[in-house]
Amino acid sequence: MNTIMIYLPIAMAFIGLAFMFTKRAWVLKQDPGDGKMKEISDYIYEGALAFLNAEYRLLTFFVIGASIVLAGISFIVPTTHILIVVAFVFGAFFSALAGNMGMKIATKTNVRTTQAARTSLPQALKVSFGGGTVMGLGVAGLAVLGLTTFFIFFFHFFMNGVWTSTEDMTIVLETLAGFSLGAESIALFARVGGGIYTKAADVGADLVGKVEAGIPEDDPRNPATIADNVGDNVGDVAGMGADLFGSYVATVLAAMVLGNYVIKDMGGNIQDAFGGIGPILLPMAIAGFGILFSIIGTMLVKITDDNAKEAQVQKALNIGNWVSILLTAVACFFLVQYMLPETMKMDFFGEGTKEISSMRVFYATIVGLVVGAVISSVTEYYTGLGTKPVMAIVQKSSTGAGTNVIAGLATGMISTFPTVLLFAAAIWISYALAGFYGVALAASAMMATTAMQLAIDAFGPISDNAGGIAEMSELPKEVRTRTDILDSVGNTTAATGKGFAIASAALTSLALFAAYVTFTGIDGINIFKAPVLAMLFVGGMIPVVFSALAMNSVGKAAMDMVYEVRRQFREIPGIMEGTGKPEYAKCVDISTKAALREMMLPGILTIGFPIAIVLLGKLVYADNNQLIAEMLGGYMAGVTVSGVLWAVFQNNAGGAWDNAKKSFEAGVMINGEMTYKGSDAHKAAVTGDTVGDPFKDTSGPSMNILIKLTCLIGLVIAPILGNGSHTISDKAACCASTEICTSMSKEECMANGCVSKTCKFMDAAAMPNHMMSKEVSIEKTNVDGKVKATIKTTINGKENIQSFEGTDAEVQAKIDSLK
Amino acid sequence: MNTIMIYLPIAMAFIGLAFMFTKRAWVLKQDPGDGKMKEISDYIYEGALAFLNAEYRLLTFFVIGASIVLAGISFIVPTTHILIVVAFVFGAFFSALAGNMGMKIATKTNVRTTQAARTSLPQALKVSFGGGTVMGLGVAGLAVLGLTTFFIFFFHFFMNGVWTSTEDMTIVLETLAGFSLGAESIALFARVGGGIYTKAADVGADLVGKVEAGIPEDDPRNPATIADNVGDNVGDVAGMGADLFGSYVATVLAAMVLGNYVIKDMGGNIQDAFGGIGPILLPMAIAGFGILFSIIGTMLVKITDDNAKEAQVQKALNIGNWVSILLTAVACFFLVQYMLPETMKMDFFGEGTKEISSMRVFYATIVGLVVGAVISSVTEYYTGLGTKPVMAIVQKSSTGAGTNVIAGLATGMISTFPTVLLFAAAIWISYALAGFYGVALAASAMMATTAMQLAIDAFGPISDNAGGIAEMSELPKEVRTRTDILDSVGNTTAATGKGFAIASAALTSLALFAAYVTFTGIDGINIFKAPVLAMLFVGGMIPVVFSALAMNSVGKAAMDMVYEVRRQFREIPGIMEGTGKPEYAKCVDISTKAALREMMLPGILTIGFPIAIVLLGKLVYADNNQLIAEMLGGYMAGVTVSGVLWAVFQNNAGGAWDNAKKSFEAGVMINGEMTYKGSDAHKAAVTGDTVGDPFKDTSGPSMNILIKLTCLIGLVIAPILGNGSHTISDKAACCASTEICTSMSKEECMANGCVSKTCKFMDAAAMPNHMMSKEVSIEKTNVDGKVKATIKTTINGKENIQSFEGTDAEVQAKIDSLK
């Protein structure tokens, strides 16, 4: 039984990958069109590949550097195993692979979509969504495959494939966290680098091409137009793929970690049909089934009417999406019933241990699914074409760019109201239902249909590219009309996809945060301690500064692009007449270099700050790891809260500006007058959109990686901050709590056979709390103002009795120091 | 001795007020100029007065409503006394009075400054700064007078003017918190209402006047020009005055509350020359001396050279400012040495009790003074004319409004980096030095020179008005040149003043936050509890939504103004030729109504949310006041962290945009070309400034009131959330812990003479922790897995012994329920 449920997710991952390869073969078989189209498509493919290769070359150094640091940590910290480095490298590699695969299929699908759009809209949707499906299933399949394989490997390596103790499983999952860390690190750079690339090219191309030279978008005479189309692929496809790959892995991992603590709360041992690790396997099982249901969902996305409009296309996508979500809900019901003990004991911090029925875990998954759906509606309300907030921005455009910008900013800011209330309710309810395990499973359920979500997300930029190719190849107008319908739907799904991404990131971060608190063994995170509060402030500031850096980077990179395009217009003879050939590669090169250069500082900020806090903490509170752990926890909370706010603010403001501008294409009624493209109001709306571009495509979407990566770094640092400051015995102790070897010399310990694979020799002083079975009983008597206390400490079965006398405060201080 | 130090601050307040009246008489004696000037000045005076009167009428209803609620609370909650209502009403009244006084003198000084500017710049500075001084000393004098008088009154009323216990003093200070709450509530409405008024008039006047009709700023033909000048007074003068009045009171109050807990940590009783309340009197004494030093500082502000430029004027202000700060530092040294015990015991949460020298409190005050100074430099760096960030925005203006806006936003965002690190360091260091008492005294020292700060702040809008009057009265060009110099310096001081305001608000909020935790008797605020974390999210969202509401209000109100001005231009014959007279009063009326209407929603949001959280908490956790208290604490922390970030972001972005626009007046070099007013780049910069206006004058400066008011509301609610959930005895108990009356019937208790003024009868069940002397000693034995515990609870001297047997978990649960 055990073996089936543990290997099942791998099987499902293989099914997903097999379906992906079939779909891929089908897409590649489609007609890529004639000479000009193919030529342009090849330019885009090569530009995107050049960027990814350059990016990966650079990131190889980062991975090597980070691996050395991790290896160092694993040598110093007894509970961190060197295998974390292997997991990290593979996580990074899989993430890069997922991005690369997605990007390749997207750049092959774009031209085929253009060609399909020459025949009919249904065919164009089929091809473009086919490309999206390949991307989605590739990412999800690789994520489940990698995570499950490494889990099984570590489970066998550290525990011989049988449950021993929560402590051993903690080491398995700590090591597995390396996989997630690797994935999320690459995601950060891919998202930020891709975001800078795409907006630098976009803004640069528009400023000189559209505004200065007065040529339309995607005009082949514009040297930056290829870079612009490459940007769609490296930003919206490869960046998004790496992002969701990281989210997916982090979410499942966090749920597994908390599943382990459910087992701990139940006495460290449960009897079930899954070798006693049902709560740990559940999130993986849900992820596995999610792949199957995503496949079913993607098969339902189709339209038949060649005269279909945006609404029908959107409806087709919605049907597929809803079916996969509903199937997931049903599967959660059966999986929870099947895999979890009927009643479970859970420790609710500050409220004691409660007995809860496993059904409450199912309800928590429903909370996650509902939040995922509602957040999409909320996002659509604030950013969709024709909605009240967007129309208000349109109206404000009539009095100039200033009022348009104010209205857009205010819309983004107001949109945090329902969103944050929704998140707060979700956190509270799913926690009330099943503790932080409930929060983590809410996130897992939400992320289960990642493959479907990503298919929906990825078809947008593919269609956008298809339209660009149609324009550049000067194809008949109806081709562009068809791709425009797909592109327009893609814009909406892009906005809702960002809402979905931040919702899942918020829940995942909280789950990681909970795992962090449990790993470090601290007594919660108390912001009434000034250093912790100070770090909450610092954490809150990071997303703001990160966003500013990303925005400035876009500005700088766009300027480089502007100068290059101006130079080509000036120096290449006949370029405006179409007789001179623009040097596309130069522009691609500029975007590439700028993106790689500019992604470094935000990356360093994200990774450097948590480490700096720990170092500063060690400097000031050398003997108080617990306080340092709380400080880092405060920092994590600050980053999460502020990051969520700024993500919602920036994504929605950007989305609203974009659609306010788009509204002018069909014409809008302002003060009783129909107003169109080219009017002053439209120009004001274009300004708003320029501001919104880096918001929604660079800094905004980076927020969710920022918060997840921060929490993951915390999790990996956690063992260092385990409460090793306690000096209970000066003898060597063995770390496996199930084996009573404490207060023995190293030799005695070895003679007793206390050494296991998960265990290194260490001083008891350096032994983290969760590795010790420790009991403290205190007797305190108070006679005539003199207080006497007897403290019996039992560590791993070995007793130690101490007595004190003194004033109440003195005795209490002594007791506190021993706790 | 006692009597001197307690009455000394009142004496100093009277000195301040006396000096204020002298200065006022001098200002009013100055020549108000000829007919046209006087007429315009009268319009402004009447418009401002009309707004304030309308505002106060409306706020009277609010004060009555809030008083009823407070009275209700004081009937339900035993520790809240009905006198809190009196304090609240007076706090509100004093705040309104301070705003009113400041506004009146400002509107009298403006025309006199114009007249003085006809003779020389030194004279103009003397008059305008004289007006500012009146304002500053009025606010500071009233604050110290009100707070000290009420403290003495309550101290005598509740404690007969002698120290009894920390618990009784808590009641004194809880009641005094009403004064601060009243002041801060009025400040909120004054700031938001004034901010909306001033920007609605400004934007409305500019959009139709400057942009559509092409007439210069402050042109008398523009119907909104009087409203615009009124706006400067109700926003920048009355609003700022009420704001700093509130800050000043809240800061001193918070320090007094924490001083009371210092005494508690030292055993509930200290022997000093001040009747045992030295630590409580210290903040008042510092405030009192601050008034004296501010007077000295203001006397040093003068220039002699009629050809002086901005730099010399700024230098004159700096000299006065620095002297008053340095004198305050010296005074702090002596006051701390004089008034505090040489060594003090302080409870550091989670670290136990430490003995610290009183000098560390002095160092904490130095931290506050340094932060105040550094924050001004940081603000100036990001917003000052000619600085690197501002010049970068200027450069970005050449590529359009979009890039200008992005650059401005990014500058505001980046500026949170040094600011937040500075705050975090200040919190951490002042706490490490002397606990939260140190944090509060850092804020107190920073705020001590409020009178001087306000004088510097207020002279700006006075000079701005003076320039407007010169323009409207068509005076010679050199008059405007002179007022422009003062106005330009005023813009810089306005920005640095906002930095100062948010720095003091941040520290004050933390002190209030600490007072809240102590009042409620909770064990810190642990964000690892999901409901607390959820509220941290909700709190973080509030400043964002508040800002959006304020911005939207400005937009709406400005639109009303635009339509009215357009109507007058259309309908009044001869208005553009100067023969028809614009209806100024109509525009004043529109701004007034809009401001009053629009200030309600943000006000309700601020006041309503903390109450909603408590109600929701009571609904879900009826029996767990402690958790509700922690939830509210999480909310307060969220509001504070996010509020500080958004204040810094908005103030600095707005300031930077403003000066980027101003840079074009003297001409700037862009891409090697001198660019001036009227260029495309300048137009882009104007757009940025339009966005920045509500940022820096409406939503940004409201943030500091939002966070202080939130923490104050929490403080007033605190007694409701005192840990009344404990059921220790079903007998009536008297609340005075010094009198051992617990577990007696009401009759017995009265017979024992246990009733004091601070004390009402209540069930022990409803008695908050800090009112009980409670000792719990626990004996736990563990024999063969059976655990037996004997718990001896001693409440106010009365013993109660309980025994339990059971499994370890059961016994522990029982023990926890009794703690």
- Each residue's pLDDT tens digit, A422-466: 999 999 999 999 999 999 999 999 999 999 999 998 888 899 889
Average pLDDT over residues A635-641: 95
Question: How would residue A800 be classed by pLDDT, with cut points 50, 70 and 90?
Answer: low
Strand partners, A806: A787
Average pLDDT over residues A255-279: 88
Chain B residues closer than 8 Å to A407 by CB: 552, 555
Would you say residue B584 has pLDDT above 90? Answer: no
What is residue A762's predicted lDDT score, i.e. its pLDDT? 44
Site of tokens 């109001």: A681
Site of tokens 């945090």: A416
Nearest to A530 among B427, B547, B690 (CB): B427
Range name among A490-504, A624-638, A723-737, B235-249 with the lowest pLDDT average? A723-737
Would you say residue A736 has pLDDT above 50? Answer: no
Do A536 and B686 make contact, defined as CB atoms within 8 angstroms? no
Nearest to B545 among A417, A424, A525 (CB): A417
Do A534 and B644 make contact, defined as CB atoms within 8 angstroms? no
Question: How would residue B739 be classed by pLDDT, with cut points 50, 70 and 90?
Answer: very low
What is residue A734's predicted lDDT score, i.e. its pLDDT? 41
Measure Cα distances from A772 to A352, A794, B809 in Å. 21, 10, 19
- Residues above pLDDT 90, as percent of chain B: 46
The chain-wide mean pLDDT, for chain A, equals: 85
Do residues A768 and A724 lie in contact, with contact meaning Cβ atoms separated by under 8 Å? Answer: yes
Gap between the Cα atoms of B133 and B127, Å rounded: 10
B131, two tokens: 């007006």
Do residues B69 and B255 lie in contact, with contact meaning Cβ atoms separated by under 8 Å? Answer: no
Chain B residues closer than 8 Å to A427 by CB: 530, 533-534, 537
Average pLDDT over residues A634-653: 95
Average pLDDT over residues A309-326: 91
What is residue A816's predicted lDDT score, i.e. its pLDDT? 65
Would you say residue B360 has pLDDT above 60? Answer: yes
Gap between the Cα atoms of B268 and B190, Å rounded: 40
- Test mutation, A413, A566, A790, chain B, max B CBs within 10 A: A413
Q: What is the pLDDT of residues A97-134, one digit of tens each?
A: 998 899 999 999 999 999 999 999 999 999 999 999 99
Chain B residue with the nearest C-alpha to that of A542: B417
Do residues B690 and B681 lie in contact, with contact meaning Cβ atoms separated by under 8 Å? Answer: no
What is residue A751's predicted lDDT score, i.e. its pLDDT? 53
Chain B residue with the nearest C-alpha to that of A438: B530
Classify residue A517 by burial, with Cβ atoms within 10 Å: 0-12, 13-18, 19+.
buried
Do residues A777 and A759 lie in contact, with contact meaning Cβ atoms separated by under 8 Å? Answer: no
Bigger pLDDT: B170 vs A420? A420
Range name among A86-100, A251-265, A369-383, B717-731 with the lowest pLDDT average? B717-731
Question: How would residue B748 be classed by pLDDT, with cut points 50, 70 and 90?
Answer: low
Number of Cβ within 10 Å of residue A563's Cβ equals 13
DSSP B258: H
Would you say residue A327 has pLDDT above 80? Answer: yes
Gap between the Cα atoms of B425 and B371, Å rounded: 9
Would you say residue B345 has pLDDT above 50? Answer: yes
From A815, A807, A736, select the one nearest A773 (Cα to Cα): A736
Chain B residues closer than 8 Å to A517 by CB: 528
Do residues A44 and A106 lie in contact, with contact meaning Cβ atoms separated by under 8 Å? Answer: no
What is residue B757's predicted lDDT score, i.e. its pLDDT? 38
Chain A residues closer than 8 Å to B514 by CB: 528
Q: Which residues neighbour A533 within 8 Å (Cβ) at sequence distance 6 or greater?
A: A527, A634, B427, B510, B637
Chain A residues closer than 8 Å to B536 by CB: 637, 641
Gap between the Cα atoms of A593 and B366, Å rounded: 48
What is residue A270's predicted lDDT score, i.e. its pLDDT? 86
What is residue B732's predicted lDDT score, i.e. its pLDDT? 36
Average pLDDT over residues A588-593: 89
Average pLDDT over residues B378-395: 91
Question: How would residue A755 be classed by pLDDT, with cut points 50, 70 and 90?
Answer: very low
Question: How would residue A815 be classed by pLDDT, with cut points 50, 70 and 90?
Answer: low
What is residue B741's predicted lDDT score, i.e. its pLDDT? 44
Question: What does A649-672 look like in DSSP terms, one character per residue?
Answer: HHHHHHHHHHHHHHHHHH-EEETT
Would you say residue A814 has pLDDT above 80? Answer: no
Strand partners, A775: A794
Do B401 and A403 make contact, defined as CB atoms within 8 angstroms? no
Question: How would residue A2 be classed by pLDDT, with cut points 50, 70 and 90?
Answer: low
Parallel/antiparallel/unpaired status of strands B732-734 and B343-348: unpaired
What is residue B777's predicted lDDT score, i.e. its pLDDT? 66
Number of Cβ within 10 Å of residue B232's Cβ equals 27
Distance of CA A663 to the CA centre of its chain: 31
Nearest Cα of chain B lies from the Cα of A79 at a distance, in angstroms, of 24
What is residue A547's predicted lDDT score, i.e. its pLDDT? 96
Bigger pLDDT: B519 vs B754? B519
Would you say residue A735 has pLDDT above 70? Answer: no
What is residue B521's predicted lDDT score, i.e. its pLDDT? 78
- H-only helix segments in A384-476: 388-396, 401-414, 416-448, 450-472
Q: What is the pLDDT of residues A771-780, one digit of tens each?
A: 444 555 666 6
Would you say residue B747 has pLDDT above 70? Answer: no
Do A559 and B399 make contact, defined as CB atoms within 8 angstroms? yes
Helix (H) or strand (E) holding A802: strand A798-806
Nearest Cα of chain B lies from the Cα of A531 at a distance, in angstroms, of 5
Sign of CA dihedral A212, A214, A215, A216: positive
What is residue A795's predicted lDDT score, i.e. its pLDDT? 53
What is residue B769's predicted lDDT score, i.e. its pLDDT? 43
What is residue A493's predicted lDDT score, i.e. its pLDDT? 84
Number of Cβ within 10 Å of residue A795's Cβ equals 22
Q: What is the pLDDT of residues A34-53, one digit of tens each?
A: 888 888 888 899 889 888 88
Do A691 and B649 make contact, defined as CB atoms within 8 angstroms? no
Question: How would residue B731 be classed by pLDDT, with cut points 50, 70 and 90?
Answer: very low
Classify residue A489 by burial, with Cβ atoms within 10 Å: 0-12, 13-18, 19+.
buried
The chain-wide mean pLDDT, for chain B, equals: 86
Would you say residue B147 has pLDDT above 60? Answer: yes
- Residues above pLDDT 90, as percent of chain A: 45
From B245, B270, B248, B273, select the one nearest B259 (Cα to Cα): B270
From A502, A539, A528, A497, select the one nearest A713 (Cα to Cα): A539
Its pTM stands at 0.87
Query: Across the A/B interface, how many CB contacts are shorter than 8 Å?
Result: 263
Question: How would residue A662 be classed by pLDDT, with cut points 50, 70 and 90?
Answer: confident
Chain A residue with the nearest C-alpha to that of B641: A537
Question: How would residue B818 be classed by pLDDT, with cut points 50, 70 and 90?
Answer: low
Question: How would residue A739 be classed by pLDDT, with cut points 50, 70 and 90?
Answer: very low
Q: What is the pLDDT of residues B620-666, one digit of tens each?
A: 888 788 889 999 999 999 999 999 999 999 999 999 999 899 889 88
Q: What is the pLDDT of residues B463-497, one digit of tens each?
A: 988 998 998 888 898 899 899 899 888 888 888 88
Nearest to B644 among A421, A525, A537 (CB): A537
Nearest to A353 among B425, B427, B809 (CB): B809
Do B409 and A510 make contact, defined as CB atoms within 8 angstroms? no
Do A691 and B409 make contact, defined as CB atoms within 8 angstroms? yes
What is residue B793's predicted lDDT score, i.e. its pLDDT? 60
Nearest to A552 among B410, B525, B686 (CB): B410
Question: How would residue A722 be classed by pLDDT, with cut points 50, 70 and 90?
Answer: low
What is residue B710's predicted lDDT score, i.e. its pLDDT? 94
Nearest to A545 among B416, B541, B558 (CB): B416
Do B551 and A410 make contact, defined as CB atoms within 8 angstroms? yes
Chain B residue with the nearest C-alpha to that of A435: B530
What is residue A202's predicted lDDT score, i.e. its pLDDT? 87
Range name among A69-78, A600-609, A720-729 with the lowest pLDDT average? A720-729
Gap between the Cα atoms of A258 and A441, Å rounded: 9
Would you say residue B205 has pLDDT above 50? Answer: yes
What is residue A518's predicted lDDT score, i.e. its pLDDT? 80
ipTM of the complex model = 0.86
